[in-house]
């Protein structure tokens, strides 16, 4: 990317971010709250560090707003005109310039950038942070490997304000992978002072407080209750945000969250029951945004290494017994894209997500279960993340009832949101529901995470198939070399194989639903599905 093009994108992004929201009646109370945003949600972060062990999805929101990355994404008009991240276009963040050559990318840092404690940001902080991301293991390290960023040697200090990233191989996911949440830039000297021999990367320290230089900093966190963030008035990596203070409160009861919104006591909320979103939208007193998850599905996962789900016919029986349409109608109130009932047995598009051939057919389900050697069914558990109980609990109740009709007796296992990621990665749950949404919106990226045998993080079904790995690797190579025919064949191949082996059963493509007061503007849809406070405006 040429410098003038990079700076041009920065200028256009700044102009877009400065658009103010619609005017509202100005009262003394509104004036007092005009620079404070009050968010209510079902669950909150369990860790403030994206590199932490088992950091949950709400934790992503803190990291996104409190740490800078070298680059970010440009925005475009999405469905309904809502600003939507552009997966293929990038803008400067901590880096003011980026030069891409054949096998490397060089980043010039902003010389006036500082961390929250006033320490200047230098190339050594960037290298240490990137080294940390590829070394701590678990999710962060796998995320970096998704873009072929695997070794500390790939990150080179050129001078105090210049860093070079060397490519391990040609991979179209490398540059996009530098714009996700994981490669954030951390105050290395501060964290090293608080590291120990057993914890060389200071993960215990950054679990409890932020150590970045992003647009916001956490000033108070009471786990499970409240997060308070203050604007960093010295931030230089983008247009200064309009919101000075964010108060994010955890309100477990959905009815209470809705009441706070409708009374005007809260500004924004997500994780309401879908019925509430439909009613709020029809009422018209609040604004509601509903957008499909990019590259995402809600699914039923099965541990394919342990009986009875090691038997493909059992997995297929479950697929035919699921109450797909009831879930879409009764739980989601139509706010989802169905991923079931396709007319063809094979994939029809070079795309993801796309529907499977499965639909509710109890006769087929019973016959398959009998063929698998379980004519009278069996007993098992179905687990879900209690942090997203608004959807997961009624969904699991419907699945429990439906599986009971073919003799599969399930006990529902509710796992606290703070523990969900840890329990999921143990790979001991026989049957569970979860959402996965690929941060990079490419089919091969989703399948690398969820179906590749080398991936121990989100391949929570313990599925291994040399044929699947070959197809995923082939698609990545074809994308890098521009071989469209090979790419199309490999993508269709791995989708077909996933639907045949069926280690997980797609249910639907969920929607992000956010309700907000009429005086809130600037909402943007991001791949991580969480709020970006930097763009929000309160009139």
Instruction: Report, as an integer, the average pLDDT of 343-353.
Output: 88
User: For the segment 296-341, what is each residue's pLDDT rounded down to a tens digit?
Assistant: 999 999 999 999 999 999 999 999 999 999 999 999 999 999 999 9
Contact 307, 526 (CB under 8 A): no
The whole-angstrom separation of Cα 265 and Cα 281 is: 18
Tell me whether strands 287-292 and 162-166 are parallel, antiparallel or unpaired: unpaired
Domain 296-511: which CATH number of 3.40.1180.10, 3.10.105.10, 3.40.50.800, 3.40.50.300: 3.10.105.10
pLDDT bin (cut points 50, 70, 90) of residue 271 is: confident
pLDDT of residue 238: 96
- What six digits make up the tokens of 492? 């269709």
Contact 85, 138 (CB under 8 A): no
Where along the chain do its domains lie?
A: 3-251+517-538, 296-511
Interaxial angle between packed helices 389-404 and 312-321, expressed in degrees from 0 to 180 and rounded to the nearest 10: 110
Residues 6+ apart with CB under 8 A from 379: 408, 409, 410, 411
Closest CA to 16 of 100, 96, 72, 94: 72
Q: Looking at 386-443, which runs of residues are DSSP E strands? A: 408-415, 431-437
CA 48 and chain centroid, separation: 15
299: three-class secondary structure by DSSP: strand
pLDDT of residue 29: 52
pLDDT of residue 167: 97
pLDDT bin (cut points 50, 70, 90) of residue 14 is: very low
CA distances from 221 to 34, 205, 228, 253, 516 (A): 22, 14, 6, 20, 23
Residues 6+ apart with CB under 8 A from 8: none
pLDDT bin (cut points 50, 70, 90) of residue 347 is: confident
End-to-end Cα distance, the chain: 36
pLDDT of residue 32: 54
pLDDT of residue 344: 81
Instruction: Report, as an integer, the average pLDDT of 352-377.
Output: 97
Its pTM stands at 0.87
The whole-angstrom separation of Cα 299 and Cα 288 is: 25
Instruction: Report, as an integer, the average pLDDT of 256-273.
Output: 94
CA distances from 44 to 8, 85, 227, 325, 372 (A): 37, 24, 8, 30, 42
Closest CA to 450 of 146, 135, 181, 54: 146
Contact 457, 421 (CB under 8 A): no
Domain range 3-251+517-538, CATH class: alpha beta
Q: Looking at 102-208, which runs of residues are DSSP E strands? A: 104-109, 155-159, 162-166
Polymer length of the chain: 539
CA distances from 327 to 66, 161, 412, 444, 507 (A): 37, 53, 16, 28, 9
Torsion on CA atoms 140, 143, 149, 155, rounded to nearest 10: -40
Instruction: Report, as an integer, the average pLDDT of 465-488.
Output: 97
Contact 228, 247 (CB under 8 A): yes
Domains 3-251+517-538 and 296-511 equal at CATH topology level: no
According to DSSP, the residues that pair with 332 across neighbouring strands are none
- What six digits make up the tokens of 334? 């139509």
The whole-angstrom separation of Cα 323 and Cα 306 is: 24
Residue 7 has pLDDT above 60, yes or no: no
Residues 6+ apart with CB under 8 A from 263: none
């Amino acid at each position: 990317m040429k410098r003038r093009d990079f700076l041009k994108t920065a200028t256009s992004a700044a102009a877009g971010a400065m658009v103010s929201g619609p005017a509202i009646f100005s009262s003394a109370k509104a004036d007092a709250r005009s620079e404070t945003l009050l968010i209510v949600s079902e669950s909150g972060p369990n860790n403030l560090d994206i590199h932490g062990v088992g950091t949950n999805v709400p934790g992503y929101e803190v990291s996104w707003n409190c740490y800078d990355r070298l680059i970010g994404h440009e925005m475009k008009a999405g469905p309904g005109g809502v600003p939507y991240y552009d997966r293929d276009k990038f803008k400067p963040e901590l880096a003011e310039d980026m030069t891409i050559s054949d096998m490397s990318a060089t980043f010039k840092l902003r010389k006036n950038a500082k961390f929250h404690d006033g320490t200047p940001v230098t190339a050594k902080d960037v290298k240490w942070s990137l080294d940390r991301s590829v070394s701590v293991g678990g999710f962060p390290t796998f995320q970096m490997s998704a873009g072929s960023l695997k070794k500390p040697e790939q990150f080179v200090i050129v001078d105090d304000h210049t860093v070079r990233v060397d490519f391990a191989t040609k991979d179209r996911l490398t540059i996009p992978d530098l714009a996700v949440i994981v490669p954030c830039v951390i105050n290395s000297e501060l964290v090293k002072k608080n590291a120990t021999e057993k914890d060389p990367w200071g993960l215990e320290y950054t679990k409890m407080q932020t150590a970045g230089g992003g647009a916001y900093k956490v000033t108070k966190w009471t786990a499970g209750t409240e997060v308070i963030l203050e604007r960093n008035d010295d931030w230089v990596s983008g247009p200064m945000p309009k919101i000075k203070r964010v108060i994010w409160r955890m309100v477990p009861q959905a009815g209470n969250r809705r009441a706070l919104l409708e009374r005007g006591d809260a500004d924004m909320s997500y994780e309401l029951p879908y019925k509430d979103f439909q009613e709020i939208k029809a009422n018209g007193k609040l604004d509601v945004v509903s957008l499909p998850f990019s590259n995402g599905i809600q699914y039923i996962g099965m541990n394919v290494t342990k009986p009875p789900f090691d038997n493909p016919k059992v997995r297929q029986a479950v697929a035919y017994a699921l109450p797909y349409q009831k879930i879409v109608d009764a739980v989601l109130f139509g706010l989802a894209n169905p991923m079931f009932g396709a007319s063809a047995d094979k994939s029809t598009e070079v795309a993801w997500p796309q529907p499977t051939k499965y639909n509710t057919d109890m006769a087929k389900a019973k016959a398959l279960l009998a063929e698998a050697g379980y004519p009278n069914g069996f007993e098992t558990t179905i687990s879900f993340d209690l942090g997203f109980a608004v959807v997961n609990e009624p969904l699991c109740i419907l699945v429990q009832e439906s599986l009971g009709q073919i003799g599969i007796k399930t006990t529902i296992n509710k796992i606290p949101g703070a523990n969900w990621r840890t329990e999921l990665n143990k790979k001991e749950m026989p049957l569970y529901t979860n959402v996965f949404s690929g941060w990079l919106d490419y089919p091969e990226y989703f399948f690398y995470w969820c179906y590749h045998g080398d991936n121990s993080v989100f391949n929570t079904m313990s599925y291994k198939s040399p044929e699947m790995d070959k197809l995923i690797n082939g698609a990545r190579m074809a994308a890098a070399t521009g071989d469209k025919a090979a790419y199309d064949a490999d993508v269709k191949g791995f989708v077909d194989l996933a639907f045949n082996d069926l280690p997980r059963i797609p249910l639907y493509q969920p929607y992000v639903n956010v309700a907000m007061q009429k005086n809130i503007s600037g909402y943007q849809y991001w791949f991580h599905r969480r709020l970006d406070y930097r763009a929000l405006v309160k009139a």
